[in-house]
């Protein structure tokens, strides 16, 4: 599927789909520089098997990487070549050739990763001992020469020998590859529980570092961009196996920080993560530019108020609205009085304009607890079905008088 993202608003909408054979699809990576305009996706179970896939989906030696020319797909859609299925424009490769090709890859590949210059596409069968470096220029030549070995539902299958540059003997169970700034690649080895470091172009494996147990994903600093930063890499391991004090049957999993500045890799640190660590990105800190508070002018909530004197309770029949201001160190109003059976809407505006000054609103007896960021308004609605006096209070430490930030709901 091609999704459209509005660069201004960030809104995502459906673009188009390409009709594909009923394989299982896994991961993808975008082409870059040389291969810009293309995207690559791994797939397995090209046997189209059902039932015990452990056996039935591993019969062929190779599955595929699907190479999608998304610029060609966009052009075809613009020319009205898509069929509308379920409200989505779908391209059928049988009717619209040139949009997708299949690259044979070792069976059951997991990741596919495009090198920083866009020239190499790295994919591995996860039961193999090698990873394959496909050459994008050779892929283009094979497409031009119709160097195909067959097709799957009308999608041409390129000849493996014509499009690969190398099979790199990285070790057993290669899953994912990340890149450094100096032409090195780093491949996670699930079966070997290690990371292999190897060189693009010479295809030489220069080092391996063991991981605590069964590495899955890995992330090098900006390691899947056109300009990898190097220096650090994190291995995300599927189990922690003895790396920490056991605290029960369910144990945290481990990630390990690796120094990749020298030719020999060095483990620097173990950290424990939730199961199961599936992906990470390392980016330079100065690229992260978060807003500090929600801008007041962007708060369109009609119940937002910005002055303590506007706080209060109003009623329309059985509907009660409480406009509440949260600011150090009072919840205003300090009393909300309603009748049993009222539908109560509480609109909470945190008028703080200071970084990290969150306030909460906890009303234990009605099972309510929300946290409101600076400049934000949130509403909670409940039926006041229990009579009595119930405390509400701030649930996020905000000042020395945090615990004094409280009031009472009275239900008559
Ligand atoms: Cu506000 Cu604690």
Tens digit of pLDDT per residue, the chain (412 long)?
A: 999 899 999 999 989 999 999 999 999 999 999 999 999 999 999 999 998 888 888 888 899 999 999 999 999 999 999 999 999 999 999 999 999 999 999 999 999 999 999 999 999 999 899 999 999 999 999 999 999 999 999 999 999 999 999 999 999 999 999 999 999 999 999 999 999 999 999 999 999 999 988 899 999 999 999 999 999 999 999 887 778 888 888 888 889 999 999 999 999 999 888 777 888 899 999 999 999 999 999 999 999 999 999 999 999 999 999 999 999 999 999 999 999 999 999 999 999 999 999 999 999 999 999 999 999 999 999 999 999 999 999 999 999 999 999 999 999 9
Whole-number Å distance, alpha carbon 60 to ligand 1 midpoint, is 61
Predicted local distance difference test score (pLDDT) of residue 275: 79
CB of 362 sitting under 6 A from ligand 1: no
Whole-number Å distance, alpha carbon 337 to ligand 1 midpoint, is 22
Backbone phi, psi, residue 338, to 5°: -140, 175
Cβ contacts of 188 within 8 Å, gap of 6 or more: 174, 175, 176, 177, 195, 211, 215, 216, 217, 218, 235
Atom from ligand 1 closest to the CA of residue 359: 1
Predicted local distance difference test score (pLDDT) of residue 241: 79
Strand partners, 346: 322, 380
Atom from ligand 1 closest to the CA of residue 395: 2
Tell me the C-alpha distance between 175 and 187, whole Å.
Answer: 7
CB of 394 sitting under 6 A from ligand 1: yes
Q: What is the CA radius of gyration of the chain?
A: 28
Whole-number Å distance, alpha carbon 395 to ligand 1 midpoint, is 6
Whole-number Å distance, alpha carbon 324 to ligand 1 midpoint, is 14
Backbone phi, psi, residue 95, to 5°: -90, -25
Looking at 177-278, list the stretches that DSSP marks H as alpha helix, in order from N- to C-terminal side.
none
Rounded to two decimals, what is the model's pTM? 0.85
Tokens 């530019």 sit on residue:
289
- The CA-atom distances, in angstroms, between 364 and each of 89, 103, 319, 367, 391 are 49, 58, 21, 5, 8
Which pair of structure tokens corresponds to residue 84?
Answer: 């509308």
Tokens 């424990």 sit on residue:
272
Predicted local distance difference test score (pLDDT) of residue 152: 97
Tell me the C-alpha distance between 116 and 368, whole Å.
Answer: 49
Tell me the C-alpha distance between 306 and 349, whole Å.
Answer: 7
Whole-number Å distance, alpha carbon 285 to ligand 1 midpoint, is 29
Tell me the C-alpha distance between 124 and 146, whole Å.
Answer: 24
CB of 240 sitting under 6 A from ligand 1: no
- Strands 12-18 and 2-5, by their bridges, are antiparallel
Tell me the C-alpha distance between 304 and 229, whole Å.
Answer: 44
Predicted local distance difference test score (pLDDT) of residue 58: 82
Q: 3-state DSSP call for residue 6? A: coil
User: Residues 276-288, buried b or exposed e (16+ Cβ, 10 A)?
Assistant: ebeeeebeeeeee
CB of 398 sitting under 6 A from ligand 1: yes
CB of 397 sitting under 6 A from ligand 1: yes
């Amino acid at each position: 599927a091609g999704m459209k993202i509005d660069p201004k608003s960030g809104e995502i909408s459906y673009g188009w789909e390409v009709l594909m054979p009923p394989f299982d699809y896994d991961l993808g990576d975008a082409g870059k520089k040389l291969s810009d305009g293309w995207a690559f996706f791994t797939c397995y179970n090209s046997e189209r098997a059902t039932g015990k896939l452990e056996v039935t989906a591993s019969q062929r030696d190779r599955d595929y990487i699907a190479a999608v020319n998304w610029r060609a797909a966009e052009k075809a859609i613009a020319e009205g070549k898509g069929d509308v299925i379920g409200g989505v424009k779908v391209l059928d490769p049988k009717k619209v050739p040139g949009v997708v090709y299949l690259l044979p890859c070792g069976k059951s590949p997991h990741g596919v990763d495009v090198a920083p210059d866009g020239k190499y596409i790295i994919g591995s069968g996860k039961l193999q001992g090698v990873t394959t470096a496909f050459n994008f220029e050779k892929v283009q030549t094979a497409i031009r020469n119709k160097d195909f070995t067959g097709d799957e539902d009308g999608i041409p299958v390129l000849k493996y020998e014509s499009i690969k540059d190398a099979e790199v003997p990285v070790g057993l169970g290669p899953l994912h590859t990340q890149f450094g700034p100096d032409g090195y690649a780093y491949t996670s080895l699930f079966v070997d529980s290690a990371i292999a470091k190897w060189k693009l172009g010479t295809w030489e494996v220069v080092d391996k570092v063991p991981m605590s147990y069964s590495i899955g994903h890995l992330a090098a600093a900006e390691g899947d961009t056109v300009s990898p930063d190097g220096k650090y890499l994190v291995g995300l391991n599927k189990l922690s196996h003895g790396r920490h004090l056991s605290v029960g049957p369910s144990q945290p999993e481990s990630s390990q920080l690796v120094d990749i500045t020298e030719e020999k890799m060095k483990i620097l640190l173990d950290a424990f993560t939730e199961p199961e660590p599936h992906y990470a990105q390392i980016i330079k800190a100065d690229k992260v530019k978060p807003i500090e508070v929600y801008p007041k002018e962007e708060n369109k909530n009609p119940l937002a108020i910005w002055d303590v004197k506007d706080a209060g309770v109003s009623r329309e029949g059985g509907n009660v609205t409480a406009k509440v201001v949260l600011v150090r160190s009072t919840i205003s109003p300090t009393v909300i009085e309603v009748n049993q059976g009222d539908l109560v809407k509480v609109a909470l505006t945190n008028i703080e304009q200071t970084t990290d000054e969150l306030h909460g609103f906890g009303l234990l007896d009605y099972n309510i607890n929300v946290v409101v960021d600076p400049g934000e308004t949130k509403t909670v609605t409940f039926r006041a079905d229990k009579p009595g006096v119930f405390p509400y209070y701030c649930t996020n430490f905000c000042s020395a008088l945090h615990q004094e930030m409280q009031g009472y709901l009275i239900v008559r």
